[in-house]
Amino acid sequence: MKVVADLDVCIGAGVCVLTAPKVFDQGADDGLVRVIVETVPSGEERLAREAVDLCPSGALEIVDED
């Protein structure tokens, strides 16, 4: 499972980072989301899914679902 982020849509709310800090980070310069893993580790999939659902802007999308 992979997650992609649309930086044109992200508003830097940080909900994703709080929810799944091993998958997401925020850019120090712009506060926008960074996906920090190539593939979401199996132990982090539930939290990553939760973060995608909770993102207020809809910037996150799950791709390559197994």
Which tokens in the block code for residue 49?
A: 């899914």
The answer to whether the beta carbons of residues 32 and 8 sit under 8 Å apart is no
Nearest distance from residue 21's CB to ligand SF4, in Å? Answer: 11
Nearest approach, Cβ of 35 to ligand SF4 (angstroms)?
Answer: 9
> How far is Cα of residue 60 from the mean position of the Cα atoms in its chain?
6
**Cα gap 15→18, rounded to integer Å:** 5
Please pick, from the candidates 1, 2, 4, 10, the single residue that binds ligand SF4 as defined by CB under 6 A: 10
Chain residues 24-53 in contact with ligand SF4, contact rule CB under 6 A: 33
Is 1 one of the binding residues for ligand SF4 (CB under 6 A)? no
